[in-house]
Structure formats: structure tokens, C-alpha cells
């Protein structure tokens, strides 16, 4: 493994990370209203929890995380996963509510550096950060990386798919399980992305002549088009994974 280090709280970190993100995510994922409203708060209120993995002065992977408070069972974590936890973390901060857990919002590795094990290094760094902050667990509403190839399969069925060795079929779920994570349950409404028909046509490069369900590249479920309401909706399912922190 190359020599690597992590940086955080550096000038223009949001923009530097955006350069990694925009090359990896489908366009429609850039239009989640909750993300667009709260993302800059991550760098304003929680700069030390936004980290980048650097090799030879190049950012090769990134992670965004947010502390939050949760005093119920992890099985009760909400269906609205990702959107909920970003909003909750920012609101907890503004109300001075002491966090007891960390939530991973994104881990991304640049295309040329994928498949080399860097994601495990980043996951373990988030676990370390959780430990030094005395948090009891690291939660992640995980976006399974191959689910978009199976948009007609429910997330509930998809997460039961296993390889011969008993590990999850999905490579990104597998990374978490290999690093001690536990699959808790799906969060079916992790992200909600609404847009007009014109916006969805711009985001996807498709034409929507009639109402119905459409398979869109990069989406984990079909998107719903309603011509009468001039509305396209995408509801992204994720999977709650918990890494318990040993102290
Ligand atoms: C998901 C992601 C973070 C994984 O990072 P990574 O550093 O490439 O992962 P690793 O090198 O640790 O590989 C993990 C497993 O995935 C497999 N893998 C890697 N790229 C793959 C691909 N394109 N297709 C299928 N499997 C792949 C590896 O072989 C490995 O499998 P193993 O368990 O059998 O060893 C990275 O692919 C990525 O940034 N994707 C785009 C953004 C994203 O989806 N982020 C996650 C949601 S926030």
C-alpha cells in the first residue's frame, strides 16, 4: 500500500472534494434538496469530520461525516436515512445537543484508485475518529454500489444476496461487513429527489413522453414520472449499517 495520509479543515476543502464527487455521481444525485441546503454546514460546523485521503499530494478518496445524537435502539433508525441524519446533525449542533454517534454520509474513491482497498482505510479512519470522540457507534446509510444494476429488485431482497463465502454480494456492503459493520435494515426513503419533467430530462438525457416508472442509469430504483403534475420523483433506498465502537 502506498504512503498515504488524511487531511481535514484545509482551505477550499469543499471545492477540492467536489472535484472528486462530481466525477463519480450521476447528475440527478446532485439535486437532493436536503443535501443542497445543508452540505455547506458540514464544512462550517464540522470541518474536522470532513476528511480526504492523500497520496503524493493528490486527493484520492474522501469521506464526509456528521456527529448526531441517538438514544434509541439502532433498529429504530429512521426510514429517511441519509436526508434525516444530515438535517438532524445540523439541527443538533444548532440546538447544542451533545452527539453520541458519528454518521458517514459519503465515502468515495477516485476511479483510478478504486479496487485497491482504499475504502477500508477510509472506513477505519471514520471508526478511529468515532473512538477518539467517544462516540458509541458509527452509522452509515450505505448506498450499495451495484444496486443500480438491479433497479427492479427490492432493496430488502438485494441485501440478502450473498456470495458462496457468506459475505454480501454487494461489494460496498461487503467492505463494511469485512470491517466489522452490521447490516441493520434498509432505509427505504433515504433520499428524496423531486424535479420537474424538464429538469429530469436534463439530469438523465432521457425524454419522458408519458407518466410511469423509468429505469435511469445510476438510480437504485426506477424514477416516477407524473406528467399531469409536471413532477419526477426519485426515492433512494439505502441500508443502515452500524459499526459499534470499542473503547
Ligand atoms: C464504493 C467505493 C467507495 C469502494 O471503494 P474501493 O476503494 O474501490 O473499494 P475496495 O478496493 O476496498 O473494493 C471493495 C470490494 O469491491 C470490489 N470492487 C471494486 N470495484 C468494483 C467494481 N467496479 N465492480 C465490482 N466490484 C468492485 C473489490 O474487488 C472488493 O471486493 P472483495 O471484497 O472481493 O475484495 C468506490 O467504488 C466508490 O467511490 N464508488 C463511487 C462512489 C460510491 O458509490 N460511494 C459509496 C456510497 S457513499
Q: What is the pLDDT of residue 65?
A: 99
Give me the pLDDT at residue 112, please: 96
How would you label 179-193 residue by residue, b for 16+ Cβ within 10 Å and e otherwise?
A: bebebbbbbbbbbeb
Mean per-residue pLDDT for 213-221?
98
Q: Catalogue all structural domains in the chain, each as residue range(s) with its CATH number.
A: 5-190+239-244 (3.40.630.30)
Is the beta carbon of 212 within 6 A of some atom in ligand 1?
Answer: no
Average pLDDT taken over every residue of the chain: 98
Q: How far is it between the farthest Cα atoms of the chain?
A: 57
Ligand 1 center–CA 91 separation, angstroms: 32
| Minimum-distance ligand 1 atom for the alpha carbon of 24 | 41
- Condensed to tens digits (0 to 9), the pLDDT of residues 65-96 reads 999 999 999 999 999 999 999 999 999 999 99
- Which ligand 1 atom sits closest to the C-alpha of 143? 47
Amino acid at each position: 500500500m502506498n504512503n498515504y495520509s488524511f487531511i481535514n479543515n484545509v482551505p477550499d476543502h469543499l471545492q477540492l472534494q467536489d472535484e472528486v464527487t462530481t466525477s463519480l455521481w450521476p447528475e440527478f444525485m446532485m439535486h437532493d434538496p436536503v443535501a443542497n441546503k445543508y452540505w455547506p454546514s458540514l464544512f462550517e460546523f464540522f470541518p474536522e469530520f470532513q476528511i480526504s485521503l492523500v497520496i503524493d499530494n493528490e486527493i484520492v478518496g474522501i469521506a464526509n461525516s456528521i456527529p448526531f445524537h441517538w438514544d434509541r435502539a439502532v433498529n429504530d433508525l429512521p426510514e429517511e436515512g441519509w436526508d434525516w441524519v444530515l438535517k438532524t446533525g445540523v439541527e443538533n449542533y444548532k440546538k447544542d445537543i451533545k452527539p453520541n454517534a458519528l454518521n458517514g454520509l459519503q465515502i468515495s474513491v477516485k476511479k483510478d484508485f478504486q479496487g485497491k482497498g482504499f475504502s477500508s482505510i477510509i472506513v477505519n479512519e471514520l471508526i478511529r475518529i468515532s473512538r477518539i470522540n467517544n462516540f458509541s457507534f458509527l452509522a452509515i446509510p450505505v448506498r450499495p454500489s451495484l444496486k443500480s444494476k438491479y433497479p427492479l429488485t427490492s432493496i430488502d431482497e438485494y441485501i440478502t444476496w450473498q456470495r458462496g463465502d457468506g459475505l454480501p454480494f454487494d461489494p460496498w456492503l461487503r467492505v463494511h461487513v469485512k470491517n466489522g459493520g452490521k447490516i441493520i435494515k434498509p432505509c427505504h426513503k433515504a433520499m428524496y429527489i423531486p424535479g420537474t419533467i424538464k429538469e429530469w430530462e436534463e439530469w438523465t438525457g432521457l425524454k419522458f413522453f408519458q407518466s410511469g416508472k423509468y429505469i435511469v442509469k445510476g438510480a437504485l430504483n426506477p424514477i416516477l414520472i407524473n406528467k399531469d403534475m409536471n413532477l419526477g420523483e426519485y426515492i433512494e433506498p439505502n441500508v443502515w449499517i452500524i459499526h459499534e465502537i470499542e473503547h
